[in-house]
Amino acid sequence: ETGVTQSPTHLIKTRGQQVTLRCSSQSGHNTVSWYQQALGQGPQFIFQYYREEENGRGNFPPRFSGLQFPNYSSELNVNALELDDSALYLCASSPGGGNNYGYTFGSGTRLTVV
Amino acid sequence: GDSVTQMEGPVTLSEEAFLTINCTYTATGYPSLFWYVQYPGEGLQLLLKATKADDKGSNKGFEATYRKETTSFHLEKGSVQVSDSAVYFCALSDRTGTASKLTFGTGTRLQVTL
């Protein structure tokens, strides 16, 4: 079975620009979550998608938005990039709620905002 | 809100030494608990999990027991190897609204030397 794949692996953007990150969930997983991991920190929950609907959100502003597609893949969009958005963005998938099953993470997209 | 506190690193050990990484948590509900490992330049890999009090998670020689009375989930390994060098994250999973999200500690870097 394939795991979670993310693209691109690295990205450099200028402050004020917009960016789209992509994630393909593990086969059989219908729930996708996105996390932001700043350097030297633990990942922070951005939001979660289940059956193409956002069903939970962390403490991130509305310029962070997302989509989930019928094949359960997902996108994270960030508008009006700020320098503090520089981080590793991780996608995680799970078969339904992750409480009992855990989450499978991708290798992440390293975003640098200059 | 939910939180996870881990012992600060880095932890430096000689090969074959005993490892303990402390983790305590605060949660309003009955969370599941996880340890994830992150190797340099990679995403997170699930190391072990426990879903209810007194459960013991184990994998690759690592163990952790869900202690509800002390709200702890300490990671242990009897004999570490150089290949165990990585950053270890303790995390809990609980529901926020209809979503299950992971709350992470700040991570503990382990370095094992010959």
Distances (CA, A) of A44 to A10, A38, B54, B81, B104: 19, 8, 27, 29, 7
Q: Tokens at residue A13, please?
A: 């953007």
For residue A80, give how far its alpha carbon lies from the nearest alpha carbon of chain B (Å).
26
| B77 has a pLDDT exceeding 90 | yes
A42 vs B94, residue with greater confidence: A42
Q: What is the pLDDT of residue A101?
A: 66
Q: What is the pLDDT of residue A105?
A: 93
| Maximal C-alpha separation, chain B | 48
Mean pLDDT of B60-86: 97
Is some CB atom of chain A closer than 8 A to the CB atom of B57?
no
| A107 has a pLDDT exceeding 80 | yes
Pairing of strands B44-50, A109-113: unpaired
Mean pLDDT of B24-44: 90
Mean pLDDT of B1-17: 93
Q: What is the pLDDT of residue A102?
A: 74
Is some CB atom of chain A closer than 8 A to the CB atom of B66?
no
Is some CB atom of chain A closer than 8 A to the CB atom of B49?
yes
Interface of B with A in 14-43 (CB under 8 A): 31-32, 34, 36, 42-43
Give the SS3 label for residue B5.
strand
Nearest to B107 among A6, A42, A92 (CB): A42
| B95 has a pLDDT exceeding 80 | no
Q: What is the pLDDT of residue A95?
A: 83
Distance (Å, whole) CA B10 – CA B65: 23
| B70 has a pLDDT exceeding 90 | yes
Question: Using one digit for the tens of pLDDT, what is the confidence trace for A8-64?
Answer: 999 999 999 999 999 999 988 889 999 999 998 999 999 999 889 998 899 999 999
Mean pLDDT of B93-100: 71
pLDDT band at B98, cuts 50/70/90?
low
Nearest to A42 among B51, B89, B94 (CB): B89
| B104 has a pLDDT exceeding 60 | yes
pLDDT band at B19, cuts 50/70/90?
very high
Dihedral in degrees, nearest 10, Cα atoms B114, B56, A104, B90 = -60
For residue B18, give how far its alpha carbon lies from the nearest alpha carbon of chain A (Å).
24
pLDDT band at A99, cuts 50/70/90?
low
In terms of CA atoms, which chain B residue is nearest residue A40?
B106
In terms of CA atoms, which chain A residue is nearest residue B91?
A42
**Mean pLDDT for all residues in chain B:** 92
